[in-house]
Amino acid sequence: MKALIVDDDLALSDVVSFTMRRAGFDVITAHDGRSALERWEAEDPDIIILDLNLPKLDGLSVCKSIRDEGDTPIIILSVRGDEEDVVKGLELGADDYIVKPFSPRQLVARAEAVLRRAKSAPVTPGPMSAGDFMLDPARNDVRIGDDDNIQLTQLECRLLEVLMLNSGQVLTSASIIDSVWGSEGADRVMLKQLVYRLRRKIESEPSEPVHLITISGVGYSFEV
Amino acid sequence: MKALIVDDDLALSDVVSFTMRRAGFDVITAHDGRSALERWEAEDPDIIILDLNLPKLDGLSVCKSIRDEGDTPIIILSVRGDEEDVVKGLELGADDYIVKPFSPRQLVARAEAVLRRAKSAPVTPGPMSAGDFMLDPARNDVRIGDDDNIQLTQLECRLLEVLMLNSGQVLTSASIIDSVWGSEGADRVMLKQLVYRLRRKIESEPSEPVHLITISGVGYSFEV
DNA sequence: TGAACCTGTTACCATCTTGTGACCCATCTG
DNA sequence: CAGATGGGTCACAAGATGGTAACAGGTTCA
């Protein structure tokens, strides 16, 4: 998750950045309105923490511009006494606001709440099956036939999910990496390692895999 | 959904009523503190929009009375400069507040957010059961099978409530925190601690839980 | 006032996860 | 044949994660 922090008060900006980083966000910062828009376009963050009082281009204009061209969730930072601007901001489509001074915890809680609301689509990743495999992405586990459930790590689970979704098809390493690691990216070595670890859990003879098949020079394929 | 609007400013009251009606609420109104309590008892609304500045019986007293006898969600309307009273109101158990002037959109959004929160952890004090567990949210206690009742703290009770309501499903830490702590927020450490304390009360072998299950990297799940 | 309790905080520890480097083998190629 | 390439296997370490415990401030209640 990537957060864009926009605040011209450097001290506060640092506090906010630190808080968000500790909560697991990648943080980008901007200190005036114009650069905020630039960073937004360049980095495509998942959420924006936006101070209203900005040099060069005020927060409300930033808010409006972003809403005109996209739907990145926005949380407004306002000082007490600024209620009018907050209302304008919310009317412009901001998702929530926090009045300074605020507790770091509140900030994180609101950010996560807004994000959860925004991506309400992939809510219930219901169990899926392919052949003998029953995968439950919510629980990170898989059951093969009538055996006991096998606990997977998150990465293993996402890898198996991608493969099972495209059962029988050959997926290139690049596309698998894209699906599993997302925008962060990863190299082939990491995928190789992950495949190895997953095989040890789901293949009865890991050195002679029958489900997670290597297509040399291309990628991998899941066979039932 | 039934909303009780309490405001002595008739013009504003009309605006609020109209907004809420348009959003699909049935609206009841009251214009002073005393009649507010009467309407509340008579109509049992799902949510209350409460102005603090009221004749006959001020908003904070109304808030307190309602909280003493029930748990209908309350959103406080306050004017600028009233922050002290807002804080008092929140301490008395109000669920959220809005500073005038506010946008209709904001009002509806907040009302729905509060209701969503209330629904996900319904404080409606009806006893509920899941498997061997009989939880009484009104009493903050739980009975497992034929054992003696176990007294819980408020937080423990709300946690168990949320989990039992979604028995068998995996809940993420963030959503649990949202349901248990509400807008105040909390971090994962606090949840971890709460889970630990609850387990010591409801699990016969707290170090090997069979009901309150950890889904590593995701959250927790209640299993019967 | 004082005791009991609730809850947030900090600390410590064990375990798990995951990225990284190393090494091996098979295959391909000049 | 020598070297390059792709892939499997293993071990290690930093960091994340979660369970446990002790403590402190605050509240409640007698």
Sheet with A141-144: list strands edge to edge: A128-130, A133-136, A141-144, A150-151
Give me the helix-helix angle, A59-69 and A33-43, nearest 10°. Answer: 30
Output A121 or A184, whichever has higher pLDDT.
A184
Mutate to test the interface with A, among B76, B80, B90, B116 (most CBs of A within 10 A): B80
B202-210's contacts with Cβ under 8 Å and 24+ in sequence apart are: B202/B133, B202/B142, B202/B144, B202/B150, B202/B160
Instruction: Quote the pLDDT of residue A16.
Output: 86
The reply to whether residue B217 touches residue A140, judged by beta carbons under 8 angstroms, is yes
Specify the residue for token string 């040890």.
A200
Residues in A 81-140 with any Cβ partner in B closer than 8 A: 81, 83-84, 86-87, 90-91, 103, 105-106, 108-110, 112-113, 116, 138-140
Fold for B2-120, please state it: Rossmann fold (3.40.50)
pLDDT tens digits along A12-54: 888 888 888 888 888 899 999 999 999 999 988 999 999 988 9
pLDDT band (50, 70, 90) for residue A218: very high
Q: How close does chain A come to B56, measured CA to CA in Å?
A: 28
Give domain A128-222's CATH architecture: Orthogonal Bundle (1.10)
Residue B172 is encoded by which pair of tokens? 């993420």
Q: Residue A134: is its pLDDT beyond 80? A: yes
Q: Which amino acid is at B146?
A: D
Check if A2-118 and A128-222 are the same fold: no
Top-confidence residue, B114 or A16: A16
Lowest mean pLDDT among A23-32, A123-132, A150-159: A123-132
**Which tokens sit at B206?**
């707290």
Q: Give B20's pLDDT tier (boundaries 50, 70, 90).
A: confident
Q: Name, in order, each residue with C-beta under 8 angstroms of B99's C-beta and a sequence gap of 6 or more.
A: A83, A86, B78, B79, B80, B82, B86
Lowest mean pLDDT: which of A5-9, A219-223, B125-129, B161-165? B125-129
| Res B212: pLDDT | 96
Q: pLDDT at residue A123 above 60?
A: no
Strands (E), chain B: 2-6, 26-30, 47-51, 74-78, 96-99, 128-130, 133-136, 141-144, 149-151, 170-172, 212-215, 219-222
CB neighbour list of residue A148: distance below 8 Å, 6 or more residues apart: none
Concatenated DSSP letters of A72-102: --EEEEEETT-HHHHHHHHHTT--EEEEES-
Residue A96: pLDDT band with limits 50, 70, 90: confident
Asked if A91's CB is within 8 angstroms of B105's CB, the reply is yes
pLDDT of B125 over the 60 cut: no
Query: Is omega for the bond preceding A127 within 30 degrees of 0, making it cis?
Result: no
- How many CB atoms neighbour CB B218 within 10 A? 17
What pLDDT shows up at residue A49?
93
pLDDT above 80 for A76: yes
User: B95 vs B173, which has greater pLDDT?
Assistant: B173
DSSP 8-state class, residue A51: E
Calpha distance A142→A157 (Å, rounded) = 8
pLDDT, mean over chain A: 87
Percentage with pLDDT > 70 across chain A: 93
pLDDT tops 70 at residue B129: yes
Average pLDDT over residues B103-111: 73
CA dist B197 and B149 (Å) reads 16
pLDDT of A10 over the 70 cut? yes
Rounded to whole angstroms, the Cα distance separating B207 from B202 reads 12
Which pLDDT score, from 0 to 100, does residue A158 have? 94
Q: Inform me whether the pLDDT recorded for B179 exceeds 70.
A: yes
pLDDT band at B123 (very low <50, low <70, confident <90, very high): very low
| Mean pLDDT confidence for B194-209 | 94
Instruction: Please tell me the predicted confidence (pLDDT) of residue A157.
Output: 95
The pLDDT value given to residue B121: 43
Q: What residues does each domain of chain B span?
A: 2-120, 128-222
**Of the given ranges (A172-176, B41-45, B100-104, B174-178), which has the lowest mean pLDDT?**
B100-104
Whether the CB of B223 is below 8 Å from some CB of chain A: the reply is no
Classify residue B168 as left (phi > 0), alpha (psi -120 to 50) or beta. Answer: left
Taking C1' of C27 and every protein CA, the nearest residue is: A216
* pLDDT for residue B35: 92
Tokens at B33, concatenated: 């503190």
pLDDT band per the 50, 70, 90 thresholds, residue B153: very high
Three-state secondary structure of A54-78? CCCCCHHHHHHHHHHHCCCCEEEEE
Q: Exposed, middle or buried, A117 (CB in 10 Å: 0-12/13-18/19+)?
A: middle
* Average pLDDT of the segment spanning A68-78: 87
Please compute the mean of the pLDDT values over residues B39-45 and round it to a whole number: 91
Q: What pLDDT score does B138 carry?
A: 81
Bridge partners of residue A222, in order along the sequence: A212
Q: Which one of B187, B188, B221, B223 makes the best mutation probe of the A interface by having the most chain A beta carbons within 10 Å?
A: B187
Whether the CB-CB separation of A64 and A41 falls below 8 Å is answered with no
Measured between beta carbons, the chain B residues lying within 8 angstroms of A86 are 99
Average pLDDT value for chain B: 84
Look at residue B171 in the predicted model and tell me its pLDDT: 92
- Residue A85: predicted pLDDT: 76
Evaluate whether A54 touches A6 at the Cβ level (below 8 Å). Answer: yes
The Cα–Cα gap between B30 and B38 comes to 9
Quote the percentage of chain B above a pLDDT of 90: 37
Separation of first and last alpha carbons in chain A: 34
Check CB contact of B80 with chain A, cutoff 8 Å: yes
| pLDDT-based confidence at residue A107 (cuts at 50, 70, 90) | confident
- Measured between CB atoms, which of B105, B178, B215 is closest to A139? B215
Task: Calculate the alpha carbon distances from A166 to A125, A161, A175, A209 in Å.
Answer: 16, 9, 12, 18
Residues A152-156, mean pLDDT to the nearest whole number: 95
Q: Output the CA angle A124-B168-A167, nearest 5 degrees.
A: 45
For residue B186, give the nearest of A112, A19, A105, A114 by alpha carbon: A105
pLDDT exceeds 50 at position A102: yes
Separation CA B84–CA B88 (nearest Å) = 6
Q: Which nucleotide is nearest to A205 (CA to C1')?
A: D8
Measured from Cα to the C1' atom, the residue closest to C10 is B189
Task: Evaluate if residue B200 carries a pLDDT over 50.
Answer: yes
With an 8 Å Cβ cutoff, is A211 touching chain B?
no
pLDDT at A70 (0 to 100) = 87
Query: Which CATH homologous superfamily contains domain A2-118?
Result: Response regulator (3.40.50.2300)
Q: Is the pLDDT of residue B104 over 80?
A: no
d(C-alpha B56, C-alpha A147), whole Å: 70
